[in-house]
Amino acid sequence: MADAAVKGRFAVVGGGLAGLMTVIKLAEAGQHVDVFSIVPVKRSHSVCAQGGINGAVNTKGEGDHPDIHVRDTLRSGDFLLEQVAVKGMCYAAPGIIYLLDRMGVPFNRTAFAGATTGQQLLYALDEQVRRYEAEGKVTKHEFWEFLGIVRDEGGPCRGLVAMNLHTMEVKSFAADAVCLASGGPGIVFGRSTNSTINTGTAAASVYRDGAIYANGEFIQVHPTAIPGEDKLRLMSESVRGEGGRVWVPSDGGMDERSKTQRPPKGEPWYFLETWYPKYKNLVPRDVGTREIFHVCRDLKLGIDGKDAVYLDVTHIPAKTLDAKLKGVLELYEKFQGVDPRYQPMKIFPAMHYSMGGLWVDIEGDSNNLPVPGSPRNQSTNIPGLYAAGECDYAYHGANRLGANSLLSCIYAGMITGPAMVSYAKNAASTEGSTALLDREEKRWKERFAGIQKMQGNENPYGLARELGDLMTENMTVVRYNDRLTKALERIKELKQRWQNINVLDTAVGTTNQPLSFVNQLWNMLELAHVMTQGALLRDECRGAHYKPDHNLPVPSHRDPTQDPVWMAKWKERNDKWLKFTKATWTAEGPKITYEPVKFPVLEPEPRWYA
């Protein structure tokens, strides 16, 4: 039976940084919050974040300012961001960092905590949530999986349905408003730097219920990840930032790009330093990713002919490394059995972050800052349903600025909580919605009863592996329309094959992972469809979306504005494609439309991307 409806009861799905900050703001307002997490809250994927958190704190009077942070974020995202949300985030950043400092986060320099920043932030917020939990304002439902929202006939969200992963009990819960803070969809790509729980199933479920999914094609690939059979483990950008060098053993040949001879055969060839003498190993992550991919796949110079290059910190004293990078270096040693202080690490690019996600609204004031407490802030197109963190699309555009993810999660949570309270004040009470909750609970029970009877010849984990390989090969570093078209056909084929799945485990009343995964896999296929179709339609290179067949030509002048031919092509590109992708679910596949980006803060300027 459904939980009894109580006015002033809210639900948050996800126990990472965005979810916990939303919980804190709701509890501060005296509300009761149910938190649903597929794993223990302290195991949420935010714990894996290694790099720092951005903020123009200007600690040493170096001339830093939030306006610079705004400009850098908008440029990095190639302007496909919600500019009002970005300005609000960047202006709030210094205060957020000081707040975290007061919570006890051990920053060892400006907004960086020993390459384990995500863990430190998550534990600090969880400590605050536990205070409200002790007061009875917060109820944690750990090992409960979100299945879907409950909508009444008028459209608003009235609660949710979740499943206890210990007993497989399906139950509905009333809520005046629901916030999804469920993270990214990394496992759609098979092995990624994401936790294996990050299937994107929660966002896909509400997408199927009518929520708009925006900018799905923008997927960030991290240049340096540890290869692994189960998943790919992140090796932080801070390693390159602290002096890490990328190289492969030379073949002794001529480098056509630089017109120089490579070092003698077998000696290190520092290709980033050769090709980018100004930036060297500090090139942006998308550039580094493409070059590592190029060296391994096109030049066939990967280590031992495989997809791997060296990330080398052995020239840095071990004591210095321990002071700055101990957490990530221990991670490599644990999983690879090699001490990276004395032997170079083997790394390769991996799917890392989704800039796209659920479309959310932001109400701006006359200063182009979010209106405090507006019920529109972080709201999806479904009334009463909110989204925050990696599962929303607002803050990162076409390419995430490194270390903005932790900030965007916390900031989004800070404005989502008050927005949900404001919404609930004017929304109809959930009292009297028991019949509606019971109906949805029954529907989900019937769905899982049907899945439990599936005895076909398709292995769900085999299908997931095929999907991951397909997406990694076609939807990550380099994209071509003919391959994307074939990938879409394969996704449709996988959807058909899903109908013939074997659930593998028919256990009742106890943990049944395949039963849960079969449902998740359908949602993963839906997201893969959205992402791939969006990428096929977007014929341009923008941010992390790289289509060599649709790149801008090299301008004839160092200042592109002095090349009228190039400027004409740039204007055509932006007039046509400086728009958000907005996908709506249909039974035949996503219906994709475009919405022009508003420029209340900063107009896009002509730039040439190397």
CB of 276 closer than 8 Å to CB of 246: no
Q: Helix or strand or coil: residue 202? A: helix
102-to-47, 107, 116, 121, 148 alpha-carbon distances in Å:
19, 11, 18, 12, 37
Q: Are strands 219-226 and 345-354 parallel, antiparallel or unpaired?
A: antiparallel
CB of 579 closer than 8 Å to CB of 597: yes
Helix (H) or strand (E) holding 267: none
Query: Which of the 8 DSSP states describes residue 307?
Result: S
Please say if 285 is a catalytic residue: yes
User: Which residues are paired to 591 by β-bridges?
Assistant: 584
Residue with tokens 């790149």: 551
The encoded tokens of residue 42 equal 């302290």
How far is 381 from 361, CA to CA, in rounded Å?
Answer: 8
The encoded tokens of residue 191 equal 């092995």
Q: Nearest-CA neighbor of 427 among 369, 379, 361?
A: 379
CB of 524 closer than 8 Å to CB of 467: yes
Burial of 34 (0-12, 13-18, 19+ CB in 10 A): buried
Q: Helix or strand or coil: residue 587? A: coil
Q: Nearest-CA neighbor of 163 among 135, 141, 185?
A: 141
Q: Nearest-CA neighbor of 345 among 331, 361, 363?
A: 331
Q: Helix or strand or coil: residue 386? A: strand
How far is 231 from 609, CA to CA, in rounded Å?
Answer: 32
CB of 56 closer than 8 Å to CB of 94: yes
Selected catalytic residue, list 9, 158, 285, 341: 285
**Active-site amino acid positions:** 285
